[in-house]
């Protein structure tokens, strides 16, 4: 997904952008590697506001909501997801960044000296006279998704013995799994 903004388009009061992300756009994002397992069910309206901090740095605030379906991780039934996505990112021009010392070679003994500070966590480095918001929006959508989908929080899942859906009916299977550390005692016969 490409979403290019020229820096000269951002005026004194900022720039508001609205764009509809089609189901195909969202499907290509959700089919990330590794696949998320989510399938978009509706397009999403993306709203982005850009403010120049100075001639080179831009603050980007965005919001959208994702509607998607997936298979429940516990019972494999249908699960619906409504995920609001809100983000604030600082786009920093590569030429404006201070020079950094190169990290030392990792000897494998102890901690590695990082080149990353907490202040830089929400920074996106760009170069040139335009911003490509597409990769940042894609990343924020993927970060907003849960690890797994659930049809509902109290989902009971499938029986490990017969495979029946425990949300629909209880089965008569003995699902008690004995502790293997005590398995040897099961064969002892006391008189």
Tell me, what's the pLDDT at 14? 94
Mean pLDDT score of the chain: 86
CA angle 88/131/116 to nearest 5° reads 55
Q: pLDDT by residue (tens digit) across 107-123?
A: 555 554 445 555 566 68
What proportion of the chain, given as a percentage, has pLDDT over 70? 86
**pTM of the entire predicted model:** 0.76
Dihedral class, residue 104 (left if φ above 0, else alpha if ψ from -120 to 50, else beta)? beta
């Amino acid at each position: 997904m490409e979403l290019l903004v020229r820096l000269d388009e951002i005026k004194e009061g900022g720039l508001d952008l609205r764009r509809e992300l089609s189901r195909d756009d969202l499907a290509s994002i959700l089919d990330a590697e590794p696949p998320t397992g989510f399938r978009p069910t509706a397009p999403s309206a993306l709203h982005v506001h850009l403010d120049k901090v100075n001639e080179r740095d831009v603050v980007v605030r965005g919001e959208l909501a994702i509607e998607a379906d997936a298979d429940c991780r516990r019972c494999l039934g249908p699960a619906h997801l409504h995920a609001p996505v809100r983000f604030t990112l600082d786009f920093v021009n590569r030429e404006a960044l201070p020079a950094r010392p190169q990290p030392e070679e990792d000897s494998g003994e102890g901690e590695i000296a990082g080149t990353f500070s907490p202040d830089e966590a929400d920074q996106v480095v760009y170069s040139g006279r335009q911003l490509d918001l597409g990769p940042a929006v894609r990343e924020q959508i993927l970060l907003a998704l849960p690890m797994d989908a659930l049809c509902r929080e109290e989902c009971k899942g499938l029986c490990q013995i017969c495979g029946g859906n425990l949300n629909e009916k209880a089965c008569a299977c003995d699902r008690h799994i004995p502790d293997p550390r005590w398995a040897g005692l099961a064969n002892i016969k006391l008189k």
